[in-house]
Structure 1
Amino acid sequence: MADKVKWVLALLILVFVLYGIQKVESIVTQGEVQAQKADVVIDAGHGGKDPGKVGVNDALEKDINLQIAGKLKEELEARGISVLMTREEDQGLYDENADNKQVQDLKRRVELINETAPALAVSIHQNSYPSPDVSGVQVFYYEHSKEGEEMASVVQKQMENLEGTKNRPVKGNTTYYLLKRTEVPTLIIECGFLSNQSEAQKLTEEDYQNSLARVIADGIEECLQ
């Protein structure tokens, strides 16, 4: 009888221990989810096997996007704004065996933004145009988002502080997948034209990238106030 009681007690203790472990794991998991939340998601466009646009100076858009995005992250975090990057290395968000890497990549960027639910998402890109004379920074927003339009205007306004750069008007869009599918205000910032010799050169220079990151951060900070 005594042995049976001991066995039952041991079983009960084991159940409580396992339950406690499960609760701790649950708490840790919840903490990890919370840790993924951020005020702003920064998306460095393209990456991996997708180079994006190629500049007249042979610079790759994917590299410039990542460099500017990293500097923007540092600027925002220095101001106490939490940031999550969609990528921090030269890689896309796709599986190597995916039938359509570009589609999977875009879907995963959208999923990451929607799961994070930031106050604002910003996707960094570079532009290109058949005429080599076209230049300047331009902010795109989802045309049916009033909040997106307001934030785009705030960020675009800050571009006036970027010396030697043409400030283009904000532009609404209804076709860009990232703008259509995200559930939070999302901006695509075309930082310059890689088809313009002078601008393509500036976009590869660290000082200019720092200036870009600073004025974009100024705009984002104003949007979050």
Structure 2
Amino acid sequence: MTFIIIRKRWIYISIVAIAAILLIILTSGLWNRSITTSSVPSTTKTIIIDAGHGGIDPGAIGKSGAIEKDINLTIAKYLREYLEQSGTTVIMTRETDTGLYTSSGSIRNKKNEDLRNRKNLVKNSKGDLFISIHLNSFPQAQYYGAQTFYSSDNPQGKILAKKIQDEFINTLDKNNTRIALPKDNMYLIKGLDIPAVLVECGFLSNAAEEKKLKNSNYQKKIAWSIYVGIQQYYAEQ
């Protein structure tokens, strides 16, 4: 009888100890880091990250003053960090609050030049995959949710977009009903020979989502969603 009681006690202690270890791993972020180091399908790849807008072009501006170009760049840098940790080579279209244009010309001409230069960078960089990061904004304030777009002339971009959209839903908002959609009027991702997507990470025109988008932890979750989507894409190639 004593042996049985002692054995049950040790089993109980062992279960508690294992649960405690798992709790430490999950809460300390070691679980995420283990995923990062083990998710290596893109290790030998070169990925181009575009932080939308910049310089004279702020992009969308939320009612509380959140500026799209700044949030885009922050998310892009978090994504670069995750990718580089897994050994991926990353090329950024910009790393500061600048645009890819000359100092002369009208604002409209500068914006057009900026887009052309970004696309030329993508074409000339010999990258394997292209991600352009943006934030959405509508006149109506009720719309919300991250969404991924691809060009219909890019079948691999469609697969990539769906993977990232799945992760947006899994990680950011399970109630998000948006799906990856083709959009052929997006100059940056049209006519490319590599998988290319444009991600709208949320709506600055929605007050609740704007508040989230300004939060660094939420920005990291967005970057992580994109990162995992990329890994899922390469894992199935």
Say yes or no: TM over 0.5.
yes
Pair 1:117-2:105 in alignment: no
CA distance in 2, matches of 1:173, 1:124: 15
CA distance in 2, matches of 1:162, 1:201: 17
Equivalent position of 1:75 in the other structure: 82
Q: Which secondary structure state, in structure 1, belongs to the residue aligned with residue 229 of structure 2?
A: helix
> Which of 63, 66, 70 matches 2:73?
66
Answer with 1 or 2: which has the greater Rg.
1
Q: Which secondary structure state, in structure 1, belongs to the residue aligned with residue 66 of structure 2?
A: coil
Q: Which secondary structure state, in structure 2, belongs to the residue aligned with residue 192 of structure 1?
A: strand
Give, in angstroms, the shift of residue 160 of structure 1.
2.1
Deviations 1:48-100 (A, max 9, x none): 00000111211110000001000000011111111100000000000011451
Give, in angstroms, the shift of residue 184 of structure 1.
1.9
> Which of 225, 230, 237 matches 1:220?
230
Deviations 1:88-113 (A, max 9, x none): 00000000114510111001100111
Identical columns (%): 40
8 A contact 2:145–2:203 mirrored in 1 = yes
CA distance in 2, matches of 1:139, 1:109: 19
Q: Which secondary structure state, in structure 1, belongs to the residue aligned with residue 123 of structure 2?
A: helix
Higher alpha-carbon deviation: 83-92 or 152-161: 152-161
Task: Kindly report structure 1 stretches of 4+ aligned residues shifted beyond 4 Å.
Answer: none
CA distance in 2, matches of 1:211, 1:80: 20
Q: TM-score, normalised to structure 1's length?
A: 0.80
Q: Which secondary structure state, in structure 2, belongs to the residue aligned with residue 162 of structure 1?
A: helix
Pair 1:188-2:198 in alignment: yes
Give, in angstroms, the shift of residue 159 of structure 1.
1.2
Equivalent position of 1:198 in the other structure: 208
Q: Which secondary structure state, in structure 2, belongs to the residue aligned with residue 130 of structure 1?
A: coil
CA distance in 2, matches of 1:40, 1:194: 27
Pair 1:96-2:103 in alignment: yes
8 A contact 2:154–2:192 mirrored in 1 = no
Pair 1:156-2:165 in alignment: yes
Pair 1:135-2:124 in alignment: no
Matching residue's letter, 1:211: K
Change (3 A) 1:65 1:182: same
Equivalent position of 1:52 in the other structure: 59
Equivalent position of 2:180 in the other structure: 170
8 A contact 2:148–2:161 mirrored in 1 = yes
> Which of 80, 91, 113 matches 1:84?
91
Gaps of 5+ in 1: 1-36
CA distance in 1, matches of 2:59, 2:191: 21
CA distance in 2, matches of 1:149, 1:76: 21
Q: Which secondary structure state, in structure 1, belongs to the residue aligned with residue 208 of structure 2?
A: helix
Higher alpha-carbon deviation: 167-176 or 39-48: 167-176
Gaps of 5+ in 2: 1-43
8 A contact 1:52–1:62 mirrored in 2 = yes
CA distance in 2, matches of 1:167, 1:106: 30
CA RMSD of superposed structures (Å): 1.5
CA distance in 2, matches of 1:98, 1:220: 38
* Number of equivalenced pairs: 189
Change (3 A) 1:181 1:104: farther
